[in-house]
Amino acid sequence: MSVEEMRQALLVSEKTGLPNKRAFDESGPSAFVAMGDVDGLKRLNDQFGYAAGDVLIQRLADTLVEVDLEAYHDKGDEFIIKGSSFAELNEKLLKAEKIMKTSPFVVHSMSDKITPIDGAQFSFGIGTNLKEAETSLKHQKELRKLER
């Protein structure tokens, strides 16, 4: 394994191609941090299989990059995002949220049937550190449950 291959294996998420949690930990500090995860992933996995869930996770990763966020794939459906200001981070995450909600995609079911999905949601929380962002994310998820 070359040095570059080793670096890639250590610092890049195999699932999304984004930098991983280790890369986040080794990067410089950020004024604000957001944590986000996909809503309804378990339901999608249960209904269509894990490959469908992987499509959704990759869609979120691509969307975060599309709106010019410094995103890291932590694990599973969890992402960490850095920002220089709360307002900028919130604005870009709201834009990503809108794109995810309004962009249909297709998944292959376990029986290889192609199924269109209207869009997806994700939740996020912002703080000055990971602990604050995680607490904010939990609050956002609780609020979403109350809205249903």
- The kind and range of the H/E element at 45 are helix 41-48
Dist CA 68 CA 85 (whole Å):
14
Contacts of 20 (CB under 8 A, 6+ apart): 11, 12, 13, 72, 73, 74
pLDDT tens digit sequence for 39-85: 989 999 999 999 999 999 999 999 999 999 999 999 999 999 999 99
Q: Which string of b and e fits 80-89 if b means at least 16 CB within 10 Å?
A: bbbbeeeeeb
pTM for the model stands at: 0.91
What is the Cα–Cα distance from 123 to 132, expressed in whole angstroms? Answer: 15
Q: Are 120 and 39 in contact (CB under 8 A)?
A: yes
CA 82 to chain centre: 12
Listing DSSP states for 48-66 in one string gives H-HHHHHHHHHHHHHHHHH
CATH number of 14-147: 3.30.70.270
What are the residue ranges spanned by the domains of the chain? 14-147
pLDDT band at 87 (very low <50, low <70, confident <90, very high): very high
